[in-house]
Amino acid sequence: MTNPNFVSWMTATQQQVEAALEATLPSSERTPQQLHDAMRYSTLQGGKRVRPLLAFAAGELVGATAANVGRIACAVEMIHAYSLVHDDMPCMDDDVLRRGKPTCHVAYDDATALLVGDALQTLAFELLSTPLEGIAAAQQLSMVRTLAIASGHAGMAGGQAIDLASVGHELDQTELEFMHCMKTGALIRAAVLLGAMCGQPLTAAETDSLDHFAKRIGLAFQVVDDVLDVEADTATLGKTAGKDEANAKPTYVSLMGLAQAKQFARDLYDDALAALTPFGDKAARLKQLADYIVARSF
């Protein structure tokens, strides 16, 4: 990831998303102050904003306005932030570090963390259901449905349930892919599709190609995460390193070994890029983001 143009775009987009989140989240001075403070603590100044970046890159593909994609990006990032707050709680992954600082339930308490997740999730849907300029109500309803499916029992929440039930068990590659396509991939896929739904309509074939890209790069993201959990240290990750192995969680590294997991990530990357062929140069940002996602570790 050395393209100066891409680095500039990514930095500017991350700053834009941060400013939008800062303006959208309730002030810590509003009652209930602790809830609002914890919402901001858990969402602001953390993470690489990969999902918002994907939404903006897909928006560029279809000529979407920055204002509309910005709203989408905030909604998706709030869903992601809520999932991290809940995942870190003692009843689930029981982690004490996230994005280089104490997790929400450690910085505040369990009850506050539970409410933070609830509040971020509902705020995301409030944002997404507020009229978007130039987008028909039926299209916006479809966007709400897309995010709901990606977040719920058939997506992120369902994948987390499978993950928790799989601790101490061996999964084969098909089972592992099914779990991660839900837990991690569903929201990444939604970010891409929602960004594309903000602009000029795509044909059915183009939508299928973009969806295939999103599925493959979402899975590659998880494979790289599994590699990083083994190779990177806690300071680099911003969360506890080696926790998957310590908790006997099935991962691509435990299934395949480190070298083969890295190769699998590259294969997924190649497949994702191939899916963007019909879009030509219009997909440049999506291609650059695919490079960035896979090159995080090797």
> Which residues fall within 8 angstroms of residue 19, CB to CB, at 6 or more apart?
none
pTM score:
0.95
Q: Within its chain, how far is the Cα of 5 from the centroid?
A: 23
DSSP secondary structure letters along 11-32: HHHHHHHHHHHHHHSPPTTSSS
CA triple 248-181-122, angle to 5 deg: 100
Measure the N-to-C terminal CA separation of the chain; round to a whole number of Å.
11
Domains of the chain listed by start with CATH number:
4-294 (1.10.600.10)
CA distance 131 to 145: 15
DSSP secondary structure letters along 82-136: HHHHHHTSTTTT--SEETTEE-HHHHS-HHHHHHHHHHHHHHHHHHHHSPPTT--
One pLDDT digit (tens) per residue for the chain, 298 residues: 458 799 999 999 999 999 999 999 999 999 999 999 999 999 999 889 999 999 999 999 999 999 999 999 999 999 999 999 999 999 999 999 999 899 999 999 999 999 999 999 999 999 999 999 999 999 999 999 999 999 999 999 999 999 999 999 999 999 999 999 999 999 999 999 999 999 999 999 999 999 999 999 999 999 999 999 899 887 777 777 777 777 788 999 999 999 999 999 999 999 999 999 999 999 999 999 999 999 875 4
Q: Taking a C-beta distance cutoff of 8 angstroms, is the pair 50, 24 a contact?
A: no
